[in-house]
């Protein structure tokens, strides 16, 4: 028997919640017509929306028993996850089935962590990426938690009363190929619709970060010593991200040989690494073996580590080993340039790429930098564990990033215009400008506008150059404290040569932004 009340999920409502299903009209409670629909009640299947029948009829695949007309259900793989989904039909749900599924979900979640009131409709809970629920934080990203009074200006996509999830996998699933979405809107746990066929109700991602043990995407951890990627929850190795490298007695020798290749590529160029990494040469293996006992004895006596915590090989080595194993015609130095810049950017050591390439900094030049970045498209998996941080840091300025850029500029400009006793005030003013910028009506437009040329978008993963906002904030603070100094630093950051590196790295929209910079600086003046 068909229950009196059954529920559907209406895509036209733009919601992830259940809607009461009208059995007579085959519509949701708002009157939206639904696809041909099917309800499972114990061992019986009912069809709704049969072209010759009203209401629900028994269904014996592929025929409606009410009129004997044929309807074949077709499934198709989800274009992102590969999971088979209904294509020409949809499913209906009983209240008992919904309640049971939600109780099962609640029970499973309570076994592992405290259940929150809100969830992401894609990944459920904030284990992979923390949720953003603070009103001020949401407004900075262009979302609002209270509907505006002017209905004409209401943008449903940007209305997130419960907050958003910023997991890139969730965003891609919810808004495929979107250029505007900064997150997936959270819903109340009571509104969650479990996906039939999965124990915890969560959508299964078949991405490079999917853990077969946890049966979901989990945060990935890179084990520096072995160069392998593991699940941060259960420590299972993720084979799609695994850096295959030799094992056994010869592994140390081979690793030293690899380090030696990159050390040689860096001869006379170790300043590429500093800051923030410390350079050390690869030691001849046989010499090292002879002095091993003495080294161990000295370490025990001094209780000091063999290498500093920021040793370049300790931090960059896992990525460079992976690139070494994949190496084609590109140079070792191009590996170093790409890896150094991405890793330093992922830890919020901020520096615009055109400053990094400049003659007063690395001296690499835009041509070498471009060739290095062209290698990224074939090596995405090598950097997959840090790219989300790189993306975030490219458009979310923090005081620590502003300070790191100031330090780089101090070391590269002969006459830095700010005295040491003014430094904290200067940093504070720059931070105020950056905050005002990210809270402005202009910021959402900035977020959705790509201002980079290829290959600097990293296969479309970046829209904004790292250090752009921080550079602007520093110039704004200088304009306030020392206008002559501002002009000098601006010429250093954005030289006016026709083929300056920043001109080659930015697209037309980015170049226009720089060339009309002063009004922007004044608009958010600290």
Question: What are the tens digits of pLDDT across the range 285-318?
Answer: 333 334 334 444 444 444 444 567 889 988 998 8
pLDDT band with cut points at 50, 70 and 90 for residue 284: very low
Q: How far is 282 from 294, CA to CA, in rounded Å?
A: 18
31-40, 260-269, 279-288, 498-507, range with the lowest pLDDT: 279-288
Q: Which of the pair, 461 or 156, is modelled with greater confidence?
A: 461
CA pair distance 129, 165, nearest whole angstrom: 7
pLDDT of residue 78: 57
Q: Quick one: average pLDDT of 370-388?
A: 88
| pTM of model > 0.75 | no
Highest mean pLDDT: which range of 117-121, 134-138, 197-201, 422-426:
422-426
What's the rounded mean pLDDT across residues 231-258?
A: 59
Query: Cis peptide before 455, with omega less than 30 degrees from 0?
Result: yes
Q: Which residues contact 471 (CB under 8 A, 6 or more apart)?
A: 352, 405, 493
Average pLDDT of the segment spanning 105-122 = 59
| Nearest by Cα to 87 from 78, 96, 95 | 78
pLDDT higher than 70, residue 453? yes
Spatial neighbors of 76 by CB under 8 A, at least 6 apart, are: 84, 85, 87
> What CA–CA distance (Å, rounded) separates 247 from 446?
48
- Over 70: is that where the pLDDT of 149 sits? no
Band (pLDDT 50/70/90 cuts) for residue 250 is: very low
Asked which of 213-227, 376-390, 426-440 is least confident by mean pLDDT, the reply is 213-227
Q: What band does 398 get if pLDDT is binned at 50, 70 and 90?
A: very high
Task: Flag whether pLDDT at 11 surpasses 90.
Answer: no
End-to-end CA distance of the chain: 69
pLDDT at site 260: 86
Element (H, E) at 411: helix 399-412
Q: With 50 as the cut, is the pLDDT of residue 242 above it?
A: no
Q: Say if residue 68 is exposed, middle or buried (CB neighbours under 10 Å; 0-12, 13-18, 19+).
A: exposed
pLDDT computed for residue 249 by the predictor: 39
Q: What is the dihedral of CA 25, 29, 34, 38, to 10 degrees?
A: -80
Task: Give the mean pLDDT of 366-381.
Answer: 91
Q: Tell me which range, 119-133, 197-211, 502-516, is most confidently predicted by mean pLDDT.
A: 502-516
Cα–Cα distance, 151 to 172 (Å, whole number): 28
- DSSP-derived pairing of the beta strands 37-41 and 6-8: unpaired
* Distance from C-alpha of 322 to C-alpha of 383, rounded to nearest angstrom: 10
Averaged pLDDT for residues 156-178: 78
Mean pLDDT throughout 324-346? 92
Model confidence pLDDT, tens digit, residues 340-359: 999 999 999 999 999 999 99
Cβ-defined contacts of 21-28 (< 8 Å, 24+): 21/48, 21/92, 23/48, 23/55, 23/56, 24/54, 24/55
* Residue of higher predicted confidence among 283 and 347: 347
The pLDDT of residue 302 = 45
* CB < 8 Å & 24+ apart, contacts of 168-173: 168/388, 168/391, 169/122, 169/123, 169/128, 169/205, 169/207, 169/209, 169/217, 170/120, 170/122, 170/123, 170/129, 172/80, 173/80, 173/81, 173/122, 173/203, 173/205
Position 228 confidence tier, pLDDT thresholds 50, 70, 90? low
pLDDT recorded at residue 404: 94
Bridge partners of 197, per DSSP, are none
Residue 288: its pLDDT value, please? Answer: 38
């Amino acid at each position: 028997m068909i229950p009196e009340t059954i529920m559907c999920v209406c895509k036209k409502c733009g919601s992830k919640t259940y809607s009461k299903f009208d059995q007579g009209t085959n519509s949701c409670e708002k009157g939206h017509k639904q696809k041909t629909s099917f309800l499972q009640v114990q061992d019986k299947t009912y069809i709704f929306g049969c072209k010759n029948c009203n209401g629900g009829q028994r269904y014996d695949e592929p025929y409606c028993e009410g009129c004997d007309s044929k309807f074949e259900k077709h499934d198709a793989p989800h274009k992102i996850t590969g999971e088979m989904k209904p294509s020409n039909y949809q499913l209906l749900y009983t209240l008992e089935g919904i309640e049971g599924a939600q109780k099962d979900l609640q029970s499973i979640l309570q076994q592992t962590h405290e259940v929150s009131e809100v969830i992401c409709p894609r990944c459920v809970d904030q284990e992979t990426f923390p949720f953003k629920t603070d009103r001020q934080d949401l407004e900075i990203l262009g979302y609002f938690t209270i509907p505006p009074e002017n209905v004409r200006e209401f943008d449903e996509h940007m209305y997130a009363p419960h907050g958003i999830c910023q997991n890139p996998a969730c965003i891609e699933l919810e808004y495929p190929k979107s250029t505007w979405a900064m997150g997936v809107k959270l819903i109340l746990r009571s509104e969650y619709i479990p996906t039939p066929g999965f124990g915890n109700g969560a959508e299964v991602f078949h991405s490079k970060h999917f853990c077969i043990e946890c049966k979901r995407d989990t945060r990935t951890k890179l084990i520096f010593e072995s160069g392998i990627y593991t699940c941060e929850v259960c420590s299972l190795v993720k084979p799609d991200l695994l850096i295959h490298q030799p094992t056994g007695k010869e592994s140390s020798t081979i690793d030293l040989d690899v380090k030696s290749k990159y050390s040689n590529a860096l001869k006379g160029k170790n300043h590429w690494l500093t800051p923030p990494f410390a350079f050390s040469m690869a030691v001849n293996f046989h010499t090292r073996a002879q002095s091993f006992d003495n080294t161990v004895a000295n370490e025990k006596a001094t209780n000091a580590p063999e290498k500093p915590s920021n040793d370049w090989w300790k931090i960059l080595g896992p990525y460079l080993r992976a690139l070494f194993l994949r190496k084609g015609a590109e140079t070792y130095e191009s590996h170093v340039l790409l890896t150094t810049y991405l890793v330093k950017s992922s830890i919020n050591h901020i520096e615009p790429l055109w400053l990094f390439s400049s003659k007063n900094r690395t001296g690499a030049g835009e041509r070498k930098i471009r060739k290095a970045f062209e290698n990224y498209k074939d090596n995405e998996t090598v950097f997959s564990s840090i790219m989300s941080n790189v993306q975030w840091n490219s458009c979310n300025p923090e005081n620590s990033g502003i300070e790191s850029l100031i330090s780089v500029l101090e070391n590269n400009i002969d006459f830095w215009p700010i005295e040491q006793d003014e430094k904290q005030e200067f940093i504070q003013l720059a931070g105020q400008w950056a905050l005002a910028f990210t809270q402005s009506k202009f910021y959402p437009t900035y977020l959705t506008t790509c201002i980079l040329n290829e290959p600097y978008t990293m296969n479309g993963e970046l829209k904004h150059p790292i250090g752009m906002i921080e550079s602007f904030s520093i110039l704004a603070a200088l304009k306030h404290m020392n206008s002559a100094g501002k002009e000098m630093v601006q010429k250093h950051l954005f030289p006016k040569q026709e083929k300056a590196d920043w001109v080659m790295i930015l697209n037309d929209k980015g170049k226009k932004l720089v060339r009309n910079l002063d009004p922007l600086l004044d608009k958010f003046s600290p």
